[in-house]
Chain A
């Protein structure tokens, strides 16, 4: 076998391994819903007083740790949202949009925010958008593992 044949065989092995890994990266709906719910909770926290807002942020952090542990137990592996190339950008866009929305609720909507219809629209968009972005992230990550452009 020549060096080039060996290199070709090695690249084929890597692709086959990545495809087997991609088959394991399937989250159920409720798992995709969690990022949306987390950002929604943080946004809702902005309508409450300072102590309640901090308490919600603390609760979301604890929930994040529990989700990571569940991922490890269920899947036998852990992939952060910042893995992958294009998939990483999906996470960054989601994070920027969610933080932007949360800051807008805090500083851009007159208090009490919970009495403004725009707040509830923004909250619904955040929960639905966070869930949709989680699905998108999985799709893009799987495409990367299968060696296809998204």
Chain B
């Protein structure tokens, strides 16, 4: 893919996580897992990768006697997703333009 594509966000599951985070202020782990339709371990792995890249913040909070994890985009993550989305759209548009 072209250079503007963000390799951190390239994996389909990470792109779906980013799509949710871009539309909410904060989302709980189990809710995100249900929307993305992946297992706990897969979601955990991708959230860790996004966290290491500085794209996502994770927060633990007690609820109903259980520790729950909440995820939110950092400003850096939100900017990266917008740029990635623009790069994807540019690719699709260039293909359509080539078709005339």
Contacts and interface: CB of A to CB of B under 8 A. Distances in A.
B92 A3 contact: no
* Interface majority SS (helix, strand, loop, mixed), chain B: helix
Nearest to A15: B19
A124 B1 CA distance: 57
B92 A79 contact: no
Interface footprint category on A: 20 to 34
Contacts of B24: 21, 77-79, 83
A55 to B, nearest CB: 29
Contacts of A8: 92, 95
Contacts, number: 79
Contact of B16 (A3, A14, A73, A145): A14
A21 B35 contact: yes
Contacts of A9: 12
Interface string B8-39: 00001001100110011111101110011100
Contact of A78 (B25, B35, B85, B89): B25
Contact of A7 (B26, B31, B37, B91): B91
Contact of B26 (A6, A78, A84, A145): A78
Which of A7, A11, A20 is the most central at the interface, judged by chain B CB atoms within 10 Å of its CB?
A7
A77 B36 CA distance: 14
Interface of A: 3-4, 6-11, 13-14, 17-18, 20-21, 24, 72-73, 75-80, 83-84, 145
24 contacts: A3-B1, A7-B88, A7-B92, A7-B95, A9-B12, A10-B12, A10-B88, A11-B88, A13-B12, A13-B15, A13-B16, A14-B85, A17-B20, A21-B24, A21-B35, A75-B31, A76-B30, A76-B31, A77-B24, A77-B25, A78-B25, A78-B26, A78-B27, A79-B23
